[in-house]
Structures are given as structure tokens and as C-alpha cells.
Amino acid sequence: MASPFIKRYLLALDRHKWVGVAGCAVVIGLSGMTVFLQAAPENTYTTQGILTYSAPPDTFSATGAVLKKEGQSMTKEMLLSTFVLGTTSDRLAKQNIRVKPQEIKEKAIVLITGGSGGEPPKEGEAAATGALRIVVTYKDKKEEKSKSVAIALMESMVLQSREFNRQQLNDIIQNLKLILPKVTGELQAAEQNLEAYVRLQGAVIQAAESGSLVGAITSNQQQQREIRLNLAGVEAQIRSLQARLGLTPDQAYAASALSADPIIADLRARIYQAQSQMGLLSQTLRPDHPSMMDLRNQLASFDQLLRSRVAEVAGGGTLAAPLAASSQILQASSLDPARQQLASTLVSLQTQSETLRQQFGNLLKTEQELKQDYSNIPNKQLGQKRLEQQVALKQAYYDQVQAKLADVTLAQQETVGSLVLIQEPETVAETKPGTSSLVILIVGSVMGVFIGAGLVLLLDAIDAKVYTLEDLQNVLRQQDVPILGLLPYLPWEQEHVLPVIDEAGSPYLEPFERLRSNLRRTTGGKALKIIMLTSIVGEEGKNNGCLQFWR
């Protein structure tokens, strides 16, 4: 059983067949006109040349060798750079050939094979397997233009390789010249730091390395031992002399000074003389006798003079407090020569003792400083080594920059291009075959059939009439009209006799029974008095349907 779509399309085709035929004929006619008006194919000229890596002469610079390897690393973007396209356009303009760089880029084809990591090809072996090959192809409708553009394009690529190498070297030189002042300043600063450190700590480090610092510590300790021994002997002598004289060193110094002063000796003699006279006269004279009073005044005067002289000799107060009485002053200034010698010796020993103590303290301080220096020697040596390493590193960096600058300068003088032409551009004419007339007609016929069928479908889609049972059912469902049954078409053998279903097993009986049951169900089981059958056109089975219901 055919699908509803096919049924509807066949009905539409029957109604609009002439429209479909007309559309198909128009398309086929247009195809024929296309075949008739098709222009003859034009020739296209393809020019092709080959570049390869150029093995330059041996260079003395390491930078030149690096550039030789980098010269083998080529990409399509590099070979069709703005510089190459612009240079090519300028070269062609001088030949009165106007070609824009963008047009060259669109029409040029660059194919790169081999190359980037391999060894440079030897002379005569440019086409060997693994060697860098750059195939440059250019197509144009004019033979002369195609060849001229290809030649200019390849020459520009060769020129770019040389300029690229030179520009790289110039950039390296400029960078090195910018780096050099900074490197020089860092080297000078490191040298100055090392020089200042050596000037400050070099003597100590040298003394430690030569062993003189250890010798100085040992010598210092030996001197301390000797001073301790000498100091012990001097202090023993001081204690012995103090026991003999009954004086401290300071008192011995003062007594020796007083005993040696002639004025004090004269005043002491006068005082003894006055005291002797008073002792003799006191036996015969009263204390208030003028002579006695005169002697007492003399004693007072001598005593005052003695005190003043003692103050002058003793330095203003050394003996003033302990020798307040005249008897003490006289006793302190009455040393005999032997005791004066012992007092002088005691004072000398005291001075020697103080000197030895001062020397011992200085030696202790010096020993601490020497030991501190000795304990800091490893740190100072490490500090010096660090500074020396910094100087060595800065010097190596400086030497490297200088060597690199000299190397790049030499490489700049040795600069050559990295590409060379190994195959002259050759131009080949290519004729592009046109489309076959038979193919055009076949395609046009197929398209005509599809367009005709499409026109039929389009006209059927805009037709609002219902032509199939399925479309009618859809319309009724959309209008909420219940479909109680579908009655079959009964074969009508005699023109004036209506067909009657009188057999119980007839296949036409079931639809009528189903319709009768649906009618009863819709009326709730009530008996129907009137059933009206109607249609918009004649001969659609109204009489036949009434007859079958009546039976």
C-alpha cells in the first residue's frame, strides 16, 4: 500500500504535470545554452625554480658557524616575508611589471624539503637526499610575467638570507656593546672590593699563612710568663723593704724627698737648737720670761716654715694629713743616708712593679687580639676566596664578552648568503580543460527533473483543497469532528441496480456494523429516528449507504 505522501504527490503530479514539465524544460534549455556559450579554456604559465642551502667557505669565527646552521632553518613565512615581497615588487617595477606584494604572496607556492637539522650539502650535491630544497612556483596567465616574478622572487629570497645574517650580526654587536660597559663596571667593582679587603685583612691572613701569627701568640705568652716571674721577685723585694723601713712605698718616697731637702734639714736643725735652748733656759727661767717667749715664737715660726716647705716638697697634701704634728714631720724627714738608700730602692721597685703590671695588662690585651684574629682567619680566608672568585667570574665574563665581540666582528666581515639557485626557473604552459558538454547536459537534465518535481510539490503545498482520505481525517480532527466510521466502496456491476450486502460473511458488512455501533454509543443507546446522509457532490454513495442501513 502506497504511503500518503506518494498518493498526494501522484495526485498533485496529475494536476500540475505541465508546470513540472515546463520547469524541467527550462533548466535543460539553460544547460544547452551554457554548453553553447562556454568559452575556450585559457592557458596558465607555471614557472618553477629550486633554491638550496649554500655551503659558504670555511669561517674563522664560531658565530659564523652558528649562522651556517641557522641558515638551514627556513620556513614558508620567512621566505615570503614582507621584505621579500616588497623587494620583489620593486624589482618588477623597474622592469615595468606592476605586481602588488599581496598578489605575489597569493600566487606564489613555496615547498621546503629536507634541511633544518642535517649537514650542509657539499658542492654538486644540492639535490641529494636530506639536503635543503626550496621549490618556488609562480603561476600567471602571461608567460613573461610568470617567469619575471619567479626570478625576482628567488633573487629576493637569496638577498634576504644574506641581509638576515648581516642583521643578526649587527644586533649581536649592538647588544654586546650595550653589555660591555656594565660588565666592565662589575669587574672593576669586584677588583676594588678585593683590593680593599686585602689592604685591610691581607697582613693578618699572610701572617697566619706564614705562621708568624702563631709565633706572635707564643712569644706573647712567653713574655707574660717572664713578666709574672719578674713581678713576683719585685713584689717580694718590696715587701722585704717595707718590713725593714716600716713605710709604704709612697711614704718612703715622701720621707726620702723630705730628708734630701736642704731647707727642711736647716729648719729641722734650727728647731732642734731652739728646743735645746728652751730646755736649758726652762730650768732657770719662768715660761713667761721674754727669752722663753722669744724661743717659743721662733719654734712656731720654724714650725710654720717647715710645714710650708713640706707642702711644697710633698706636692700639696701628700703628707699634710698623716704628718699633722711637727714631731711626725721631723721624724719623716730625719732618714739617715742608709735608710734614704733603702727608701729610694723601695720607690724604684714600686715603679718597676707598676711598669711590669702595665706591660702584663698590655700583653694580655694583645694576646686576646691575636687569638681573635687567629680564630677569624678561616672566615677571612673564605671572604678573600669569595672575592677572588667573584673577580675571576667577572673577569671570565668580561673576557667572554670581549672574545664574542671580536668573533662577531670577524663573522660580520665573512657574511655571505645562505641560499643559492641550483635550477634556473623554467616556464611550462598548462591548459586547463573545460567542463564536458555531455556532463553539463546530464547535470542540467537531473537538475531539471528535480526542479520540476519541486515545482509540483510547491504548487501542491499552496493548494488548500483536500484530495486524500488522510488529509480529510486530519482536517476533521483539527475541527474536533468525530469520525464514526469509514464506509467501503461497493462494486456496482449493474448500472440501475444498487448493490446489497446480503451475505453474513461479506467483508463489506463489518464497516457498516461498526458505524451502526458507534452511532448507538454516541446517542447513549437511544433509538435513532432519523439518519441523514449528505455530501457536497453527487454519486458519493448516499443511496447505497441508506439501503445498507435499512437492511
Average pLDDT over residues 223-235: 86
Closest CA to 380 of 211, 198, 218, 210: 198
Average pLDDT across the chain, whole number: 74
150 has which bridge partners? none
**For the chain, the helix, strand and coil percentages under 3-state DSSP, each to the nearest 5:** 65, 5, 25
Predicted local confidence at residue 39, as pLDDT: 57
Distance CA 480, CA 472 (A): 12
Phi and psi at 51, nearest 5°, equal -110, 155
Q: Kindly state whether residue 506 falls inside one of the protein's structural domains.
A: yes
Predicted local confidence at residue 129, as pLDDT: 43
| Nearest alpha-carbon partner for 310 in 297, 299, 294, 321 | 321
Three-state secondary-structure class, residue 539:
coil
Task: Name the DSSP letter for residue 317.
Answer: S
Q: Is the pLDDT of residue 121 over 70?
A: no
Instruction: Quote the CA–CA distance of 69 and 50 in Å, as a whole number.
Output: 20
Helix/strand/coil for 420: strand
Q: Tell me whether residue 494 is in a domain.
A: yes
pLDDT band at 60 (very low <50, low <70, confident <90, very high): very low
Least confident of 94-103, 402-411, 488-497: 488-497
How many domains does the structure of the chain reveal? 1
Q: Look at the block and give the residue holding cell 515546463.
A: 22
Cβ contact 134:74 at 8 Å: yes
Sign, CA dihedral 127-128-134-137, equals positive
The pLDDT confidence band at residue 321, using thresholds 50, 70 and 90, is very low
- What pLDDT score does 343 carry? 74
- What is the rounded CA–CA span in Å between residue 480 and residue 512? 23
Is residue 497's pLDDT more than 60?
A: no
Residue from 185, 67, 187, 177 nearest 406 by CA: 177
Domain around 531? 484-550
Task: Assess whether pLDDT exceeds 50 at residue 453.
Answer: yes
Average of per-residue pLDDT across 520-546: 69
* Sheet strands (E) in 133-262: 133-140
CB atoms within 10 A of CB 198: 15
261 vs 409, more confident: 409
Q: Strand 419-431 and strand 43-53: pairing?
A: antiparallel
Beta pairing partners, 111: 135
Q: At residue 323, does pLDDT exceed 70?
A: no
Q: Are 121 and 132 in contact (CB under 8 A)?
A: yes
Average pLDDT of the residues in 306-312 = 68
Lowest mean pLDDT among 1-5, 234-238, 513-517: 1-5
Q: Are strands 108-113 and 419-431 parallel, antiparallel or unpaired?
A: unpaired
Spatial neighbors of 516 by CB under 8 A, at least 6 apart, are 549
Report how far residue 464's alpha carbon sits from residue 450's, in angstroms, rounded to the nearest whole number: 23
CA–chain centroid gap for 443, Å, is: 63
Domain membership of residue 272 (yes or no) is no
Close Cβ partners of 481 (under 8 Å, ≥ 6 residues apart)? none
Give per-residue pLDDT as tens, 350-378: 888 888 888 888 888 888 877 776 666 67
- How many C-beta atoms lie closer than 10 Å to residue 193's C-beta? 14
Q: Which three cell numbers stand for residue 393?
A: 667570574
Q: How far is CA 231 from CA 236, 292, 344, 543, in A?
A: 9, 56, 18, 166
> Contact at 8 Å (CB) between 339 and 245?
yes
pLDDT tens for each residue of 166-202: 887 888 888 888 888 998 999 999 989 888 888 877 7
pLDDT digits (tens, 9 = 90+) for 89-106: 888 888 888 888 898 888
| Dihedral class, residue 466 (left if φ above 0, else alpha if ψ from -120 to 50, else beta) | beta
Q: CA 222, CA 235: separation in Å to the nearest integer?
A: 20
Q: What is the pLDDT of residue 393?
A: 92
Q: Which of 507, 517, 524 is nearest to 485 (CA)?
A: 517
* Neighbouring residues of 509: CB distance < 8 A, sequence distance ≥ 6: 501, 503
| Radius of gyration from C-alpha coordinates of the chain | 70
**Does residue 51 lie within any of the structural domains?**
no
Contact 347, 256 (CB under 8 A): yes
Residue 39 DSSP label:
P
Whether 507 is in a domain gets the answer yes
- Are β-strands 108-113 and 43-53 bridged in parallel, bridged antiparallel, or unpaired? unpaired
Instruction: Tell which wins on pLDDT, 394 or 525.
Output: 394
Query: Is 511 within a domain?
Result: yes
User: Is residue 510 a part of any domain in this protein?
Assistant: yes
Q: Is the model more confident about 216 or about 376?
A: 216
Q: What percent of the chain has pLDDT over 90?
A: 1
Asked if the structure places residue 499 within a domain, the reply is yes
Distance of CA 86 to the CA centre of its chain: 36
Q: How many CB atoms lie within 10 A of CB 375?
A: 9
- Gap between the Cα atoms of 428 and 517, Å rounded: 89
Tell me the pLDDT tens digit for each residue of 269-288.
777 777 787 787 777 777 77
Take residue 169 and report the three cell numbers written for it.
650580526
Q: Which three cell numbers stand for residue 448?
A: 531539471
54 compared with 27, residue with greater pLDDT: 27
Residue with cell 618553477: 48
Q: Which residue has the cell 509540483?
A: 456
